[in-house]
Amino acid sequence: MIKVSIAGGTGYTAGELLRILIHHPQVQIESVVSTTSVGVSLSSVHRDLLGETDLNFSDSIGSPDVLFLCLGHGISQKFLQKNDIPAKCKIIDLGNDFRLEPTFQNRTFVYGLCEQNKEAIKKADNIANPGCFATGILLALLPLANMKELKNEIHIHAITGSTGAGKKPGETTHFSYRDSNMSVYKAFDHQHLGEIKKTLSLDQAVSVPEIQFVPMRGDFTRGIFASVYTKWNGNMSDEEVITYYKDYYKDSPFVFVSDDNISLKEVVNTNKVLLHISFHNAYIHITSIIDNLTKGASGQAVQNMNLMCGFEETEGLHLKGSAF
Protein backbone atom coordinates (compact mmCIF):
# COMPACT_ATOMS: atom_id res chain seq x y z
CA MET A 1 0.00 0.00 0.00
CA ILE A 2 1.08 3.55 -0.72
CA LYS A 3 -0.28 6.82 0.65
CA VAL A 4 -1.38 9.43 -1.86
CA SER A 5 -2.45 13.05 -1.55
CA ILE A 6 -4.20 15.32 -4.03
CA ALA A 7 -3.70 19.08 -4.23
CA GLY A 8 -6.48 21.04 -5.90
CA GLY A 9 -9.16 18.63 -4.81
CA THR A 10 -12.40 20.29 -5.94
CA GLY A 11 -11.92 20.26 -9.74
CA TYR A 12 -12.98 17.81 -12.43
CA THR A 13 -9.62 16.00 -12.68
CA ALA A 14 -9.39 15.63 -8.90
CA GLY A 15 -12.90 14.22 -8.76
CA GLU A 16 -12.06 11.71 -11.46
CA LEU A 17 -8.82 10.83 -9.69
CA LEU A 18 -10.71 10.20 -6.44
CA ARG A 19 -13.21 7.91 -8.20
CA ILE A 20 -10.31 5.75 -9.39
CA LEU A 21 -8.09 5.86 -6.30
CA ILE A 22 -10.83 5.11 -3.76
CA HIS A 23 -11.13 1.65 -5.31
CA HIS A 24 -7.44 1.14 -6.14
CA PRO A 25 -6.27 -1.92 -4.16
CA GLN A 26 -2.77 -0.53 -3.55
CA VAL A 27 -3.72 3.00 -2.43
CA GLN A 28 -4.66 4.74 0.79
CA ILE A 29 -5.75 8.36 0.40
CA GLU A 30 -3.76 10.47 2.85
CA SER A 31 -5.33 13.87 2.18
CA VAL A 32 -7.19 15.95 -0.39
CA VAL A 33 -6.12 19.59 -0.24
CA SER A 34 -8.36 22.55 -1.04
CA THR A 35 -7.84 26.20 -0.14
CA THR A 36 -11.58 26.92 -0.33
CA SER A 37 -13.22 23.85 1.26
CA VAL A 38 -11.13 22.87 4.30
CA GLY A 39 -13.15 20.65 6.64
CA VAL A 40 -15.90 20.09 4.08
CA SER A 41 -16.71 16.50 3.10
CA LEU A 42 -15.50 15.32 -0.30
CA SER A 43 -18.97 14.06 -1.14
CA SER A 44 -20.50 17.50 -0.66
CA VAL A 45 -18.42 18.71 -3.65
CA HIS A 46 -18.11 15.47 -5.63
CA ARG A 47 -21.69 14.34 -5.08
CA ASP A 48 -21.24 10.91 -6.67
CA LEU A 49 -18.82 10.00 -3.84
CA LEU A 50 -21.62 9.96 -1.26
CA GLY A 51 -21.34 6.58 0.41
CA GLU A 52 -17.90 5.97 -1.11
CA THR A 53 -15.77 7.94 1.39
CA ASP A 54 -16.09 9.92 4.62
CA LEU A 55 -12.94 11.98 4.00
CA ASN A 56 -12.95 15.78 4.35
CA PHE A 57 -10.87 18.34 2.49
CA SER A 58 -7.65 19.33 4.24
CA ASP A 59 -5.21 22.23 4.24
CA SER A 60 -2.14 19.96 4.40
CA ILE A 61 -0.80 17.20 2.16
CA GLY A 62 0.29 15.12 5.15
CA SER A 63 3.04 12.57 4.47
CA PRO A 64 2.22 10.95 1.13
CA ASP A 65 4.35 8.66 -0.98
CA VAL A 66 2.79 10.17 -4.13
CA LEU A 67 1.39 13.68 -4.57
CA PHE A 68 -0.97 14.49 -7.45
CA LEU A 69 -1.14 18.15 -8.47
CA CYS A 70 -4.61 18.87 -9.90
CA LEU A 71 -4.08 22.60 -9.97
CA GLY A 72 -4.74 25.16 -12.66
CA HIS A 73 -2.10 25.66 -15.31
CA GLY A 74 0.76 27.75 -13.96
CA ILE A 75 -0.09 27.07 -10.31
CA SER A 76 1.92 23.87 -9.71
CA GLN A 77 5.22 25.75 -9.51
CA LYS A 78 3.76 28.16 -6.97
CA PHE A 79 2.45 25.25 -4.90
CA LEU A 80 5.85 23.55 -4.83
CA GLN A 81 7.54 26.83 -3.86
CA LYS A 82 5.07 27.46 -1.05
CA ASN A 83 4.99 23.93 0.40
CA ASP A 84 7.85 21.85 1.76
CA ILE A 85 7.50 18.58 -0.17
CA PRO A 86 9.73 15.74 1.13
CA ALA A 87 12.37 14.74 -1.41
CA LYS A 88 11.21 11.11 -1.26
CA CYS A 89 7.65 12.05 -2.26
CA LYS A 90 6.89 11.30 -5.91
CA ILE A 91 4.98 14.01 -7.80
CA ILE A 92 2.58 13.69 -10.72
CA ASP A 93 1.56 17.06 -12.14
CA LEU A 94 -1.64 17.10 -14.19
CA GLY A 95 -1.07 20.73 -15.26
CA ASN A 96 1.22 22.05 -17.97
CA ASP A 97 3.95 23.57 -15.80
CA PHE A 98 6.64 20.96 -16.51
CA ARG A 99 5.78 19.50 -19.91
CA LEU A 100 8.14 21.78 -21.85
CA GLU A 101 10.47 22.90 -19.05
CA PRO A 102 11.02 19.70 -17.06
CA THR A 103 13.48 20.95 -14.42
CA PHE A 104 12.24 22.83 -11.37
CA GLN A 105 13.98 23.27 -8.02
CA ASN A 106 15.80 19.96 -7.52
CA ARG A 107 13.31 17.90 -9.47
CA THR A 108 13.30 16.72 -13.09
CA PHE A 109 9.94 15.76 -14.59
CA VAL A 110 9.58 12.92 -17.10
CA TYR A 111 6.91 13.39 -19.76
CA GLY A 112 4.30 10.82 -18.75
CA LEU A 113 3.09 9.42 -22.07
CA CYS A 114 3.14 5.78 -21.00
CA GLU A 115 3.10 4.35 -24.52
CA GLN A 116 6.31 6.21 -25.39
CA ASN A 117 8.24 6.62 -22.12
CA LYS A 118 7.33 3.52 -20.12
CA GLU A 119 10.85 2.58 -19.06
CA ALA A 120 11.76 6.15 -18.07
CA ILE A 121 8.49 6.48 -16.11
CA LYS A 122 9.29 3.33 -14.13
CA LYS A 123 12.49 5.00 -12.89
CA ALA A 124 11.04 8.49 -12.44
CA ASP A 125 10.26 10.38 -9.25
CA ASN A 126 8.40 13.20 -10.99
CA ILE A 127 5.95 13.08 -13.89
CA ALA A 128 4.52 15.76 -16.16
CA ASN A 129 1.18 14.24 -17.17
CA PRO A 130 0.43 14.95 -20.87
CA GLY A 131 -2.38 17.23 -21.95
CA CYS A 132 -5.65 15.71 -23.09
CA PHE A 133 -5.52 16.85 -26.73
CA ALA A 134 -1.81 15.99 -26.83
CA THR A 135 -2.51 12.43 -25.65
CA GLY A 136 -5.05 11.62 -28.35
CA ILE A 137 -3.09 13.32 -31.12
CA LEU A 138 0.31 11.89 -30.18
CA LEU A 139 -1.01 8.34 -30.02
CA ALA A 140 -2.41 8.83 -33.52
CA LEU A 141 0.95 10.01 -34.89
CA LEU A 142 3.69 8.26 -32.90
CA PRO A 143 3.85 5.15 -35.12
CA LEU A 144 4.39 7.38 -38.18
CA ALA A 145 7.09 9.31 -36.30
CA ASN A 146 8.70 6.01 -35.37
CA MET A 147 8.73 5.08 -39.07
CA LYS A 148 10.33 8.49 -39.82
CA GLU A 149 7.38 9.08 -42.14
CA LEU A 150 6.11 12.44 -40.86
CA LYS A 151 7.36 14.37 -43.88
CA ASN A 152 4.36 16.48 -44.90
CA GLU A 153 2.15 19.06 -43.26
CA ILE A 154 -0.12 17.55 -40.59
CA HIS A 155 -3.77 18.58 -40.30
CA ILE A 156 -5.79 18.03 -37.14
CA HIS A 157 -9.39 18.78 -36.26
CA ALA A 158 -10.32 17.71 -32.74
CA ILE A 159 -13.44 18.27 -30.68
CA THR A 160 -13.58 18.15 -26.89
CA GLY A 161 -16.31 18.00 -24.27
CA SER A 162 -17.10 20.82 -21.87
CA THR A 163 -15.19 19.27 -18.96
CA GLY A 164 -11.99 20.01 -20.88
CA ALA A 165 -12.49 23.69 -19.97
CA GLY A 166 -12.35 22.96 -16.23
CA LYS A 167 -14.91 23.38 -13.48
CA LYS A 168 -14.89 27.16 -13.18
CA PRO A 169 -17.82 28.41 -15.28
CA GLY A 170 -17.25 30.76 -18.18
CA GLU A 171 -19.14 32.30 -21.07
CA THR A 172 -18.46 29.37 -23.40
CA THR A 173 -19.07 26.61 -20.83
CA HIS A 174 -22.51 27.38 -19.46
CA PHE A 175 -25.46 25.32 -20.66
CA SER A 176 -27.22 27.91 -22.80
CA TYR A 177 -24.06 28.42 -24.89
CA ARG A 178 -22.81 24.87 -25.09
CA ASP A 179 -26.04 22.98 -25.65
CA SER A 180 -26.80 22.22 -29.33
CA ASN A 181 -23.76 24.29 -30.26
CA MET A 182 -20.24 23.91 -31.62
CA SER A 183 -17.39 26.43 -31.96
CA VAL A 184 -13.71 26.75 -32.82
CA TYR A 185 -11.24 28.08 -30.25
CA LYS A 186 -7.48 28.72 -30.14
CA ALA A 187 -7.20 27.75 -33.81
CA PHE A 188 -3.59 27.03 -34.86
CA ASP A 189 -2.37 28.26 -31.45
CA HIS A 190 -3.47 25.77 -28.80
CA GLN A 191 -1.20 25.38 -25.76
CA HIS A 192 -0.76 21.63 -26.37
CA LEU A 193 1.01 22.20 -29.70
CA GLY A 194 4.35 22.70 -27.97
CA GLU A 195 4.37 19.31 -26.28
CA ILE A 196 3.04 17.62 -29.42
CA LYS A 197 5.86 19.04 -31.57
CA LYS A 198 8.52 18.32 -28.93
CA THR A 199 7.43 14.71 -28.44
CA LEU A 200 7.13 13.91 -32.14
CA SER A 201 10.52 15.52 -32.84
CA LEU A 202 12.20 13.35 -30.21
CA ASP A 203 10.58 10.21 -31.56
CA GLN A 204 11.31 11.00 -35.19
CA ALA A 205 14.84 12.26 -34.35
CA VAL A 206 14.31 15.22 -36.71
CA SER A 207 12.03 18.23 -36.70
CA VAL A 208 8.44 17.59 -37.68
CA PRO A 209 6.60 19.46 -40.44
CA GLU A 210 4.04 22.17 -39.73
CA ILE A 211 1.04 21.09 -37.67
CA GLN A 212 -2.25 22.81 -38.46
CA PHE A 213 -4.44 22.18 -35.41
CA VAL A 214 -8.03 23.39 -35.14
CA PRO A 215 -9.59 22.54 -31.74
CA MET A 216 -13.36 22.71 -31.28
CA ARG A 217 -15.83 22.82 -28.40
CA GLY A 218 -18.55 20.18 -28.49
CA ASP A 219 -21.99 20.04 -26.93
CA PHE A 220 -21.19 17.03 -24.71
CA THR A 221 -19.40 16.69 -21.39
CA ARG A 222 -16.66 14.09 -21.83
CA GLY A 223 -14.37 12.89 -24.57
CA ILE A 224 -12.09 13.96 -27.41
CA PHE A 225 -12.51 12.95 -31.03
CA ALA A 226 -9.44 13.79 -33.13
CA SER A 227 -9.31 13.60 -36.93
CA VAL A 228 -5.68 13.60 -38.10
CA TYR A 229 -4.38 13.39 -41.67
CA THR A 230 -1.22 13.94 -43.67
CA LYS A 231 0.07 12.99 -47.11
CA TRP A 232 1.36 9.43 -47.23
CA ASN A 233 4.50 8.85 -49.26
CA GLY A 234 5.64 5.63 -47.65
CA ASN A 235 6.52 2.38 -49.41
CA MET A 236 4.28 0.21 -47.25
CA SER A 237 0.86 -0.99 -48.37
CA ASP A 238 -2.26 0.14 -46.51
CA GLU A 239 -2.51 -3.23 -44.80
CA GLU A 240 1.16 -3.13 -43.77
CA VAL A 241 0.72 0.29 -42.15
CA ILE A 242 -2.28 -0.89 -40.14
CA THR A 243 -0.34 -3.98 -39.07
CA TYR A 244 2.56 -1.71 -38.05
CA TYR A 245 0.22 0.33 -35.84
CA LYS A 246 -1.10 -2.81 -34.18
CA ASP A 247 2.42 -4.12 -33.57
CA TYR A 248 3.56 -0.73 -32.26
CA TYR A 249 0.87 -0.81 -29.56
CA LYS A 250 0.82 -4.54 -28.87
CA ASP A 251 2.33 -4.02 -25.39
CA SER A 252 0.16 -0.99 -24.58
CA PRO A 253 -2.78 -2.31 -22.55
CA PHE A 254 -5.10 0.61 -23.25
CA VAL A 255 -4.49 1.36 -26.95
CA PHE A 256 -6.44 -0.54 -29.60
CA VAL A 257 -6.50 -0.22 -33.39
CA SER A 258 -10.01 -0.82 -34.69
CA ASP A 259 -10.72 -2.27 -38.11
CA ASP A 260 -14.09 -0.50 -38.05
CA ASN A 261 -14.99 3.16 -37.76
CA ILE A 262 -15.00 4.38 -34.17
CA SER A 263 -17.31 6.65 -32.18
CA LEU A 264 -16.77 8.59 -28.97
CA LYS A 265 -19.07 6.66 -26.64
CA GLU A 266 -16.83 3.61 -26.99
CA VAL A 267 -14.20 5.18 -24.70
CA VAL A 268 -16.17 7.44 -22.35
CA ASN A 269 -15.55 6.56 -18.67
CA THR A 270 -12.57 4.35 -19.61
CA ASN A 271 -8.81 4.69 -19.88
CA LYS A 272 -8.87 3.30 -23.43
CA VAL A 273 -7.65 4.84 -26.67
CA LEU A 274 -9.19 3.68 -29.94
CA LEU A 275 -7.56 4.39 -33.29
CA HIS A 276 -8.85 3.84 -36.80
CA ILE A 277 -6.65 4.18 -39.91
CA SER A 278 -7.77 4.71 -43.48
CA PHE A 279 -6.30 5.97 -46.76
CA HIS A 280 -7.81 8.47 -49.19
CA ASN A 281 -6.31 10.15 -52.28
CA ALA A 282 -2.67 9.77 -51.16
CA TYR A 283 -3.49 10.78 -47.56
CA ILE A 284 -3.39 8.69 -44.40
CA HIS A 285 -6.27 9.52 -42.06
CA ILE A 286 -6.20 8.52 -38.38
CA THR A 287 -9.11 9.00 -36.03
CA SER A 288 -8.33 8.85 -32.32
CA ILE A 289 -10.75 8.88 -29.39
CA ILE A 290 -10.17 9.19 -25.64
CA ASP A 291 -12.02 10.30 -22.54
CA ASN A 292 -10.41 13.64 -21.69
CA LEU A 293 -10.83 13.12 -17.93
CA THR A 294 -9.51 9.55 -17.76
CA LYS A 295 -6.89 8.74 -20.41
CA GLY A 296 -6.54 12.47 -21.06
CA ALA A 297 -5.91 13.30 -17.40
CA SER A 298 -6.61 11.30 -14.23
CA GLY A 299 -6.58 7.78 -15.64
CA GLN A 300 -3.25 8.42 -17.32
CA ALA A 301 -1.96 9.88 -14.03
CA VAL A 302 -2.88 6.65 -12.22
CA GLN A 303 -1.29 4.64 -15.05
CA ASN A 304 1.89 6.64 -14.44
CA MET A 305 1.66 6.06 -10.69
CA ASN A 306 1.32 2.31 -11.26
CA LEU A 307 4.47 2.24 -13.38
CA MET A 308 6.43 4.44 -10.93
CA CYS A 309 5.46 2.31 -7.93
CA GLY A 310 5.96 -1.11 -9.49
CA PHE A 311 2.26 -2.05 -9.69
CA GLU A 312 0.55 -3.64 -12.66
CA GLU A 313 0.10 -0.89 -15.26
CA THR A 314 -3.65 -1.55 -15.41
CA GLU A 315 -4.22 -1.68 -11.63
CA GLY A 316 -7.39 0.19 -10.67
CA LEU A 317 -8.09 1.12 -14.29
CA HIS A 318 -10.44 -1.67 -15.38
CA LEU A 319 -13.26 0.84 -15.70
CA LYS A 320 -16.73 0.15 -17.03
CA GLY A 321 -17.56 2.13 -20.15
CA SER A 322 -20.94 3.61 -21.03
CA ALA A 323 -22.23 1.94 -24.18
CA PHE A 324 -25.41 3.98 -24.63
**Beta strands of the chain (E only): which ranges?**
2-7, 27-33, 66-69, 90-93, 103-104, 107-108, 110-111, 126-128, 154-160, 183-184, 211-217, 224-231, 255-257, 273-280, 283-290
DSSP string, 97-110: TTSSS-EETTEEPE
Distances (CA, A) of 319 to 5, 128, 143, 153, 250: 22, 23, 26, 36, 20
- Among the listed residues 70, 114, 132, 309, the single catalytic one is 132
Q: Say how many residues make up the chain.
A: 324
Closest CA to 149 of 235, 213, 221: 235
How many other CB atoms are there within 10 angstroms of residue 314's CB atom?
13
Render the burial of 6-17: b for 16+ CB within 10 Å, e for the rest. Answer: bbbbbbbbbbbb
Residues 6+ apart with CB under 8 A from 277: 241, 242, 245, 257, 284, 285, 286
Look up 132 and say whether it is catalytic. Answer: yes
Local structure of residue 20 (DSSP, 8 states): H
Could you give the CA distance from residue 13 to residue 133 in angstroms, rounded to a whole number?
15
3-state secondary structure of 219: coil
**β pairing state of 107-108 and 126-128:** unpaired
3-state secondary structure of 133: helix
Catalytic residues: 132
